[in-house]
Amino acid sequence: MYALLQKQRLKSDKEAVKMAVQVITKDNFQEEVMKSDKPVLLDFWAAWCGPCKMLSPLVDKYSEEDGSVKVGKVNVDEESELASAFNITSIPALFVVKDGKITASKVGFMPEEELKAFVQSAK
């Protein structure tokens, strides 16, 4: 039993390393976003949002493909202060933050190629 639990833990640890997306909260926002040495793609989302559920796998995939960009997700239900600071009125909402400044923003679902182009144009 112990060996099985160890194997499962090892698998989840590998998945965590593979997953380059970070959960952004008001507590880690300054360090992870404002002080980042890389551009940061922020995805504002909620669990109940259909378009967010469609966009999320594309954002996850992008985070694994482009190491030059940090990717963070902000749950608007849990981080209402951050959502308010970014004036979020519709989700999904994407922002690129570079050197502590918003360089691009877009609201709504977008296909994978459009997502890539959006981030690349703002880097």
Angle at 85 between CA 38 and CA 83, to 5 degrees: 85
Catalytic member of 41, 52, 115, 122: 52
CA–CA gap between residue 7 and residue 78 (Å, rounded): 32
Size (the chain), residues: 123
Establish whether 52 is a catalytic residue: yes
Given the residues 40, 49, 76, 122, select the one marked as catalytic.
49
* 106 belongs to the catalytic site: no
Q: Are 116 and 62 in contact (CB under 8 A)?
A: yes
Task: Give just the sign of the alpha carbon dihedral 41, 32, 73, 79.
Answer: negative
Catalytic center residues: 49, 52
